[in-house]
Amino acid sequence: MISELCNKIFLQAIEDYHVYDDVDTPENNQYPDGSLEFLFYKKNWIDTVQWHLEDIIREPDIDPVVALQLKRRIDASNQQRTNIVEYIDSFFLQKYKDVKIMKHATFNTESPAWAIDRLSILALKIYHMRLEAEREDTTEDHRLACGKKLNILLEQQADLSTAIDELLQEIEHGKKYMKVYKQMKMYNDPLLNPVLYGKKN
C-alpha cells in the first residue's frame, strides 16, 4: 500500500532531521533519484524544515531583518513543496495513463499527491505531539491533553491512509480518474505579481 510506504519514509525523514535538529542540516535522501521513495523523502524533508522555520519566525523578540529573511525562505519552501507535489502527481499520471476509464468514472476533489501532502504534515504533527505527550519538564495535565490530541491525530492518519489507498485503487481500476490542476501560484511570478512587475516600470 502506498500509504504504508509514505508513513514509513515520512517518519524516517523526520527522524533523520532530528539527529541534528537544525534547519540548515543537509538533506539525507538516500533513495534513487527520481524514484517515488525519493520524492516522498524529499517532500517530507521540505515540510520538516519548514515546520521548524515556522517555529523560529514566531520568536517574540526576533530581529525584523532575520524575520524577513525567514519569511523569504518560507516562501521559497512553499514553492518547493508545491513543485514536489506536482512531481508526485506526474508519477501517478504516468503510472495510470493506460488505464481504461469506466463510463461513469468520477474524479476526486483532490489529487493523490495533495492527499499525500496532508499525510506528510500529519506525520509531523504526530511526531511533535508525541514529544509533548512524553515531556517530563511539564505538568501531568499538559501530557494528558497532548496524549488525547495524539490519539486523534493517529486516527486521522489511519483514516487518511485508507482514503489514499482506496483512491489509488479506484484510479487503477478505472472507477476514478486523475484530473490535476497546476497550482499556478502568482505571488512568486514576476510576470503575475503586480508588486514585482511594477518595479520594472
| Extents of the domains making up the chain | 2-191
Residues 47/120, Cβ–Cβ less than 8 Å: yes
- Average pLDDT score over residue span 78-89: 94
- pLDDT at residue 30 tops 80: yes
Contact criterion met (CB below 8 Å) for 178 and 96: yes
Give the distance between the most distant pair of CA atoms in the chain. Answer: 60
Cα 38 to Cα 102: distance, rounded to the nearest angstrom? 32
Cell (9 digits) for 22:
537544525
CA distances from 5 to 51, 80, 120, 195 (A): 22, 22, 12, 42
- Confidence class for position 85, pLDDT limits 50, 70, 90: very high
Does 29 have pLDDT greater than 70? yes
Report yes or no: 84 and 37 within 8 Å, Cβ to Cβ. no
CA distance 85 to 12: 19
Task: Average the pLDDT over 85-90 and give the result.
Answer: 95
Give the closest residue to 37 by CA, choosing from 75, 87, 71, 82.
Answer: 87
Distance of CA 20 to the CA centre of its chain: 21
Residue 121 burial class via C-beta count within 10 angstroms: exposed 0-12, middle 13-18, buried 19 and up? middle
The CA distance from 13 to 28, in Å, is 8
pLDDT at 158: 98
Average pLDDT over residues 147-162: 98
Q: How confident is the model at residue 179 (pLDDT cuts 50, 70, 90)?
A: confident
Question: Residue 131 pLDDT > 60, yes or no?
Answer: yes
Selection from 94, 89, 158 nearest residue 122 by Cα: 158
Q: What is the mean pLDDT of residues 2-11?
A: 98
| Lowest-pLDDT choice from 45-54, 64-73, 78-87, 177-186 | 177-186
Band of pLDDT at residue 193, cut at 50, 70 and 90:
confident
pTM (two decimals): 0.91
Whether pLDDT at 199 is above 70: no
pLDDT above 70: percentage of residues in the chain: 97
**pLDDT-derived band at 200, boundaries 50, 70, 90:** low
Over residues 149-171, the mean pLDDT reads: 98
Mean pLDDT of the chain: 93
Q: How confident is the model at residue 31 (pLDDT cuts 50, 70, 90)?
A: very high
134 contacts 110 by C-beta, under 8 angstroms? no
